[in-house]
Structure 1
Amino acid sequence: MNYQELITIEPGKRSGKPCIRGIRITVYDILEYFTGGMTEEEILEDFSELTPEDIKACLAFAADREKKLFVASL
């Protein structure tokens, strides 16, 4: 997935954390909802401005960042 079109980083928004489409919901927020036990359907119900593609972009972004951290540690 090409998350670059959906995940934005703006210095003045949410302290520069990666956000979804420039809105104030961060990748971290979505990951926290998942680890808290929410399903994708529940997240989408609670945040009507989000799409399934937004959720996939968050997961792809997090996976890519994890991969980069692992490679950098070698």
Structure 2
Amino acid sequence: MTYLDRITCNAEQCGGRPCIWDMRIRVKDVLDLLAAGLSEEEILEDYPDLESEDVRACL
């Protein structure tokens, strides 16, 4: 799976905003967490369904 495959836009999910595939975690939320200073490891602890490739796909 490529990074682009991990990001989806669905009008019926999160208002059509880009999300991590099959999850209701918006790309913006991941970027906000990174901007706030959280590490990838901390984000993965807070969101156990995410994989490190999901976080990297948001960048």
For 2:40, the equivalent position in structure 1 comes to 40
Q: Percent identity?
A: 45
Equivalenced residues, count: 58
Report the Cα distance in structure 1 between the residues aligned to 2:3 and 2:52, rounded to whole angstroms.
12
Deviation at 1:22?
2.2
- Root-mean-square deviation (CA, aligned residues, Å) is 0.8
**Contact residue 7 and residue 22 of structure 1 kept, 8 A:** no
Higher fraction of helix: 1
Structure 1 gaps of 5+ residues are 60-74
Stretches (4+) displaced over 4 A:
none
Letter in 1 for 2:7: I
Report the Cα distance in structure 2 between the residues aligned to 1:29 and 1:10, rounded to whole angstroms.
16
The TM-score, its normalising length taken from structure 1, stands at 0.74
Report the Cα distance in structure 2 between the residues aligned to 1:46 and 1:40, rounded to whole angstroms.
10
